[in-house]
Amino acid sequence: MDVTFDATKRELTTDKGTLRYHEAGDADAPPLILLHGSGPGVTGWRNYRGNLGHFAQTHHCYVIEFPGFGVSDAVEGHPVLTAGGSVLRFMDALGIDKAAMIGNSMGGVVGVNLAIKKPERVEKLVTIGGVGPNVFSPSPSEGLRLLQEFTDAPDSDLDGKRDKLVRWLTSMVFDRSLVTEELIAERWEAAINPDAQKTAQMMYGSAAFEMQQQFMAASDNPPYWASMHKVACPTLLTWGRDDRVSPPDMAMVPMRLIPDAELHVFPKCGHWVMIEAKAAFEAAVTSFLTR
């Protein structure tokens, strides 16, 4: 199924502003909600535009644009925490009681948290990297350090900041030819959006990272991944073997803790599994979802 931006874009008015999303597929097909990741210039459309047509053949698909990334209206609070609430508002408004979900990186964390706290809303879950703690690899990873460098770069040095964006984008993939001038220009334009810049500072700036480390050290609450044994739905963990943002050793904890989890690792593939291993990813996920 062919999909285009203008044909699939939608808006939904909620009590916390407008949520924008893309919709495709038969209205009578089972619902599938696609949750995007984070990083400069990210949107749900950019994460999943190449996959939407495929999954729309078997599911009624919704690609949500999380608040704070320059597309949906921003809301107060940390983007990872507010994203889960936006998914529930979205589902309630459209009368979706329960759905399968695909979450890329941060979107996977959002999906896991929903599966833990609202298990009745998540039918099946697919994650793409990003879920769990670093076991053997350094934290922050190389990719997150590069993301931090971009976020910290002063706006007065636009050339230097753009160079840092390119370095970060290159760390996202195994095949560097995927980082085209068109992709760089697209991401750069979106990354300098005021809402997106505010979100980046909250998530990846050096000051925010230090505050998060201090908070975690002083908190009595366990990290989200320590509760992954509560994820009751069937879960497919997908990972790029050459992921430099979320190294594959992170998969060990969710693979062990989530009771009904399976892991699929794609060779010669970085963080963007759904883009870099497109055909193999779509085949594995479709088999899992329709099983």
Asked if 272 and 41 touch (Cβ cutoff 8 Å), the reply is no
CATH topology for 5-137+223-290 is Rossmann fold (3.40.50)
Domain boundaries, the chain: 5-137+223-290
What pLDDT, on the 0 to 100 scale, is given for residue 214?
Answer: 64
**For residue 85, what are its two tokens?**
């609430």
What pLDDT, on the 0 to 100 scale, is given for residue 233?
Answer: 98
Q: Is the pTM of this model over 0.85?
A: yes
Task: Give mean pLDDT, residues 261-277.
Answer: 98
- The helices-and-strands tally (H runs, E runs) of the chain is 13, 8
Express as a percent the part of the chain with pLDDT over 90. 82
Query: 289: Cβ–Cβ under 8 A, 6 or more apart, which residues?
Result: 32, 58, 59, 100, 124, 126
pLDDT tens-digit map of 77-131: 888 889 999 999 999 999 999 999 999 999 999 999 999 999 999 999 999 999 9
What pLDDT, on the 0 to 100 scale, is given for residue 207?
Answer: 81
What pLDDT, on the 0 to 100 scale, is given for residue 219?
Answer: 66
- State the average pLDDT for the chain: 94
Residue 156 phi, psi dihedral angles, 5° rounding: -70, -20
Which among 22, 36, 60, 271 is annotated as catalytic?
A: 271
What pLDDT, on the 0 to 100 scale, is given for residue 20?
Answer: 98
What pLDDT, on the 0 to 100 scale, is given for residue 86?
Answer: 97
* Residue (of 132, 144, 125) closest to 233 by Cα position: 125
**Res 218 pLDDT > 70:** no
Q: Judge whether 271 counts as a catalytic residue.
A: yes
Residue 138 CA: distances (Å) to CA of 80, 188, 278:
22, 28, 28
